[in-house]
Amino acid sequence: MEETVIVQPKELHQLIQTKLEKSGLKPEHANEVAKHLVFADANGIHSHGAVRVDYYAERIAKGGVTLEPKITFEKTGPSTGIVHGENGVGQFVALKSLEYAMDVAKESGVAVVGVRRMSHSGALSYYVKKAAEQDLIAISMCQSDPMVVPFGGKENYFGTNPIAFAAPRKVGDPVVFDMATTVQAWGKILDARSKNKDIPDTWAVDSEGKPTTNPHDVHGLLPIAGPKGFGLMMMVDILSGMLLGLPFGKNVSSMYNDLTKGRDLGQIFILIDPKRFTDLEQFKENIETMVSDLHAIPVAEGFKQVYYPGEINQLNFENYMANGIPIATAIYDYLTSDTIHFNQYGGSNAFAEKE
């Protein structure tokens, strides 16, 4: 049984912000990262929540994040642009990039905005949900370091390369869907490690290319649905890396290898204003009808309800924000300690292992 402690959102936010400020991050940037990580934990996406603070703090303290980046927006056309992030902390750079993209979408109806040279930006659902709350349809993708065995291969090439989507609805919170293009995100395995918990043998392979249930033995993740997931992760890398003139595939920088250098990652936002295509209120009503239709479908044996993709995360969010968020005791002990970081990630491979 994993040991957890229930932490109220405000306390968790303050603990994270304090730790990041002590590592060297500006208060404004630390505040945004803390908002993001609390959002992830409250959604039940613990792989992108407080479990990341120790790593972030180590990278920040060692100079791998630009503390005062000059974030600029280069508009390259009526609906396109590039944000230059100067390897600032990813969550802050991505939020500023989203704000630029939303302005463009509201002005021209569509926005395609790429983000060049940023640090790890966390759960993409955070950003697309914000856009949908402004009555925009949003898609975001980002590249990550190579840790996935391609379909039919034995060596890692692409990253987990996630895709997120959100759309506004009439009554409830936006429909939000966020997925890695692997069977499971690396962060989920990192979360399992922190809890000393086995993983399903369909998630990853060991150094011999064999399925493993031990999160500490993982040497390669598996693409979702075999060649289909492989194709999606290639698409994500092209759109969020190659399209922006950044390193791609096996050349994407390692999350853990050299924490003194910026990561030079890419992300892309594709925003659509529904009003340019249909009646906005009818569109939102149709999303509401779709949700109701899905809820009304008779359930298969062993299930309580048909949920739309991403709905369980939203239910988690409502519950945890009201009643407190479960955090691994070891992580909470770290957050409440005087330790800035444990110096455990630098020089590690893609799976946070010393080589």
Which residues does the annotation mark as catalytic? 120
Q: Vertex 16, ends 140 and 127: CA angle to 5°?
A: 15
Amino acid at 289: T
Q: HSE of 92 in the Cβ direction (CA atoms, 13 Å)?
A: 24
Length of the chain: 355
Measured in degrees and rounded to the nearest 5, phi and psi for residue 46 equal -65, -20
Handedness of CA 106, 108, 112, 116 (dihedral sign): negative
